[in-house]
């Protein structure tokens, strides 16, 4: 009888654990910010995407009211120079996090609808391949002389 009770308790704990994992959103975004751009220039955006789930996730698109369109850019060395190339997506492996950062993969807010200044806040909507849509606020900050 004692054994049966222990067994039932284990099952209950296991299923509670499973349910918890399914309810929690596996994708979390943090540390988002946008570099104050020079006049009439696009603005670079940075953030960290955390994937707590068991499957890899892909960021497919970012959108904001602040810009006509938002692109995903990756930096590449070619002929001894750093160049930017538009990418279709950013993949985040299961259980890992990816940092979109200065000098690396970043978001690019193209054709700003109004000048962005340090202290402003921009709402970004991120769309992932699994259907997840996340809205986050990204503060605009000064970020030295680098522009990407
Ligand atoms: Cu760029």
What are the pLDDT digits (tens) for 52-95? 999 999 999 999 999 999 999 999 888 888 889 999 999 999 99
Q: How many CB atoms lie within 10 A of CB 42?
A: 21
User: 8 alpha carbon to ligand 1 midpoint, in Å?
Assistant: 56
User: How many angstroms does the Cα of residue 91 sit away from the middle of ligand 1?
Assistant: 18
In a domain, 12, yes or no: no
Give residue-wise pLDDT tens across range 97-147.
Answer: 999 999 899 999 999 999 999 999 999 999 999 999 999 999 999 987 666
Above 90 in pLDDT, residue 44? yes
Whole-number Å distance, alpha carbon 74 to ligand 1 midpoint, is 7
**Structural domain harbouring 44:** 25-141
Q: What does 2-49 look like in DSSP terms, one character per residue?
A: HHHHHHHHHHHHHHHHHHHHHHS-SEEEEEEEEEPPPTTS-EEEEEEE
Decide if 89 contacts 41 (C-beta within 8 A): no
83 domain residue, yes or no: yes
Task: Establish if 20 belongs to a structural domain.
Answer: no
Q: CB neighbours (10 Å) of residue 119? A: 10
**How many distinct structural domains can be found in the chain?**
1
Instruction: Tell me the C-alpha distance between 32 and 67, whole Å.
Output: 16
**Does residue 7 form part of some domain?**
no
Question: Would residue 10 count as lying in a domain?
Answer: no
CATH of the domain at 122: 2.60.40.1890
Tell me the percentage of the chain whose pLDDT exceeds 90: 72
């Amino acid at each position: 009888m004692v054994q049966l009770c222990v067994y039932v308790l284990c099952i209950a704990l296991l299923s509670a654990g499973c349910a918890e994992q399914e309810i929690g959103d596996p994708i979390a975004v943090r540390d988002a910010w946008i570099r104050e751009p020079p006049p009439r220039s696009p603005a670079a955006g940075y953030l960290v995407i955390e994937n707590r789930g068991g499957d890899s996730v892909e960021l497919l698109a970012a959108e904001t009211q602040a810009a006509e369109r938002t692109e995903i850019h990756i930096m590449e060395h070619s002929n001894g120079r750093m160049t930017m190339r538009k990418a279709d997506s950013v993949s985040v492996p299961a259980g890992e996090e990816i940092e979109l950062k200065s000098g690396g993969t970043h978001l690019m807010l193209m054709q700003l609808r109004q000048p962005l200044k340090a202290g402003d806040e921009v709402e970004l909507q991120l769309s992932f391949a699994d259907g997840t849509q996340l809205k986050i606020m990204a503060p605009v900050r000064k970020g030295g002389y680098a522009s990407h």
